[in-house]
Structure 1
């Protein structure tokens, strides 16, 4: 695989679940994707990895509150990446899983400040995602003899 401005070939490799979740801990911003009014919706949100869960902080929006559904959980997709704008090298991680509203006041007091909204201000909603499917890809520079 080559990038048009780079004569060097690149490597594309799949990342393990553990490595993918570890990489999510290196960035604090990503995107949630969900269905709202029968259409795809995507929102930029903050996140932290908390044990084997992903905690998402976001501002209150009726569309986001509605994804939790009548039973309190809904399937959503979360995506985050870190890509160098000059070289286009980096990684991408996608997490699919059930989201539920985090209501534990002890956990909220501990993690709330880490989930402040990317626009500034406190996160109104904290969602807890139990990852069911985790996929990750890494694009790197090919080094002769590294195969």
Structure 2
């Protein structure tokens, strides 16, 4: 496989290199390297002044590892059907006793859909992927969502969620996972 690599040195002169995946070529230390959009599968890694083009490899994660990664994610996206149409919303969350807990407004589309259909089928996805190398992980949870606002301890659970929305939040929703899958993108 061949890839085109653009490098930009601190003096702003450009260099272009065409190389085979796994080929090493000398680059001055500290030179930021940018991959060409022509080959997104081969990130460029600079190690000790030598750029190395390596191939990304997906690794399937078992459900426990995937849920562990989800506990460290700041936010995710919930997908559900409301009014016959698919809806996706970003939400902050915490993982507690195997459930994904979100804290939202009772008038939000998600809270209204969950109240209208207890046990609403949902998908919850979170990821952490490095912008330049495209390595990282992604987790997908299929499950059901239930409004637990009235349950003992729900308010304390809701307050554990660090929301980026500066509005009063008053609905605590728990997503019970039925299936958890994940992928880690790494380099060979």
TM-score (norm 2): 0.67
Corresponding position of 1:25: 71
Residues 116 and 122 in structure 1, CA contact (< 8 A), matched pair in contact too:
no
Which has the higher relative contact order, 1 or 2, with Cα contacts under 8 A spaced 6 or more apart? Answer: 1
In our comparison, the structure showing a higher alpha carbon Rg is: 2
Q: Normalising to structure 1: TM-score of the pair?
A: 0.84
Q: Is the 8 A contact 1:33 1:40 kept in 2?
A: yes
1:27 Cα deviation (Å)? 1.2
Of 62, 65, 70, 2:111 maps to: 65
What is the alpha-carbon root mean square deviation over aligned residues? 2.1
| Contact 1:2/1:8 (<8 A) preserved | no
In the alignment, structure 1 segments of 5+ residues that lack a partner are 143-147
Q: Please list every run of 5 or more consecutive structure 2 residues that lacks an aligned counterpart in the other structure.
A: 1-38, 45-52
1:52 matched to 2:102? The reply is no
Listed one character per residue, the Cα deviations across residues 6-53 of structure 1 (whole Å, up to 9, x for unaligned) are: 331112111000000000111121110011221111111111110111
1:82 aligns with 2:120: no
Structure 1 pair 114/3, CA: closer, same or farther in 2 (3 Å)? Answer: same
Paired residues, number: 142
